Chain A
Amino acid sequence: MAVTSQAERLPCGVRLEELLAQVADGAPPADAAHQSGCPYCQTALRRLRRSWADVTELAREPVNVPSRLTTQIMERVKALAAQTADFILLGHARGETRVSHAVVVRITQRLARTIPGVVFASARVEPHDSPLPDRVDLSIRLVVTFGPALHHVADAVRTIVRRQTPRLTGAQLDNIDITIDDITS
C-alpha cells in the first residue's frame, strides 16, 4: 500500500481522508472552526485542490467514441438475433420461401411508426397454434404523444399493419393486439 497511516494524518491530527472528501465530493468540513484557523489544514487543502483539479479536468475531457462502434456492436447482436429467430414459411411450387419473424417485426414497427402520434413501436410475433406456417398473430406495443385519441391511433396502426404487412412479407395476420405503454408530451 502506497499510503501509510502516518501519512494520512496532518500534524494537527486531521485525517487527509476528510480533506480529500471535502475537495473531491464537496463534503463540509468536520470542524470548520479548527480548519479555518489551522495552517496545516489550509496548506493541505490548497495542495489537494491543485492536484485534484487535474482529475476533475480529465473527467471532463471529451471521450471520442470510435465511429463504427455502434455498427460493430449491432452487427454482432443482429447475427445473434438471426440465430434464434423463427420463420414463416411461404409455400411455392418450386421451393420454399422463409421470412424471419424478425423481418415481419421490423416491417410492422416501421409501418406503425408512420402513423401520426406514434413515437415508438415494437412488435412481436406471438406463438400461433395454426397448422398453416404463414399465419401469425402480432403483438404491438406503442408509445404515443399526448393529444390524439389513443384508440384512434391504435385503430390506424392496426389498419395499416393489416393492409401492408401481408403485402410486404407474405405473412397472413390473424390477431393484432396493441398495447399503449406510455404517452409523451
Chain B
Amino acid sequence: MNGQVEDSILVRAAQDGDVDAFEELVRRYQSSIYRVALRMLGSRADAQDAVQETFVRAWRALPRFRHDSAVSTWLYRIVTRRALDKIASRRTTGTLDEVGLEAGPDLAQAAEHQERLRAVRQAIANLPPEQRAALVLREFAGLSYQEVAQVLDASVPAIKTRIHRARLTIVQQTSSWQ
C-alpha cells in the first residue's frame, strides 16, 4: 500500500471494517510503539504482548476514534497504559531481559560500551512508572512536552517536572555524579 495515503483515510477505512487499511497502520506504527513498550518494560516478551494488545484494543476502539488527535498520539496513549498496567501487576521491578547489539571488533571497548547502555536501561527500569512513561515518550519516541502531556493526560508543567526528575535520577545512577 502506498505510503502517501494519509493516516486519517486509513483510519476511516478501518472504521468501515477494512482490515487491510488497519494492517497498513500497524506496519506504520508498530516499530515506534514497540520501542516505547520495550523501553518501559525492559523485556522483549512483555513488549511484544503489550504491542499486540495495543493494536487489538485500537481495533476495538476504532468506532470511538474522533480524529481530534493524531493516530500516533492515540496509539502511544494505549501502549503507555498497557505498559503501566503490566508494571503495576509485576511483583518486582527491574526485570531486564533485553540484550544489546552485537559486540564490535574491539571486544573490550564494545563490552564497556554495552555496559554503559545496560546501566542506562537499568536506571530507566528503576524509575517510578509515571516518570518512566514520560521520559520514554520524550527521549525514545521523540515527543514534545506538549505531546507527552496529551498522551499522559497531565499538564505540561507536571510532565516537565517528571522528566526532569527522571533525567536527574538517570544521570546520578549511571555516573559518579554527585
Contacts and interface: CB of A to CB of B under 8 A. Distances in A.
B5 A141 contact: no
B4 A74 contact: no
Contacts of A17: 164, 168
A182 B5 contact: yes
B155 interface: no
A5 to B, nearest CB: 11
A48 B21 CA distance: 45
B59 A80 contact: yes
Interface of B: 1-2, 4-6, 9-10, 12-13, 16-23, 26-27, 30-31, 34-35, 38, 44, 48, 51-52, 55-56, 59-60, 100-101, 116-117, 119-121, 139-140, 142, 164-165, 167-175, 177-178
Given A3-B169, A7-B178, A24-B167, A102 B17 contact: yes
Contact of B171 (A1, A20, A77, A101): A20
A164 B38 CA distance: 46
A51 interface: yes
The 9 A-B pairs at the shortest CB distance, nearest first, are namely A122-B13, A184-B4, A124-B16, A122-B18, A120-B5, A51-B175, A119-B2, A51-B171, A73-B55
B172 A3 contact: yes
Contact of A54 (B12, B60, B116, B178): B116
A interface: dominant SS: helix
B10 to A, nearest CB: 8
B121 A58 contact: yes
Interface residues of A, number: 54
A181 interface: yes
A106 B19 CA distance: 9
A181 B9 contact: yes
B164 A21 contact: yes
A81 B17 contact: yes
Contacts of A185: 4
Given A73-B26, A74-B26, A52 B171 contact: yes
A102 B19 contact: yes
Nearest to B173: A2
A62 B121 CA distance: 14
A106 B20 contact: yes
Contacts of A78: 19
A130 interface: no
Interface string A112-134: 00000001101110000000000
Contacts of B178: 7
Nearest to B23: A74
A61 B100 contact: yes
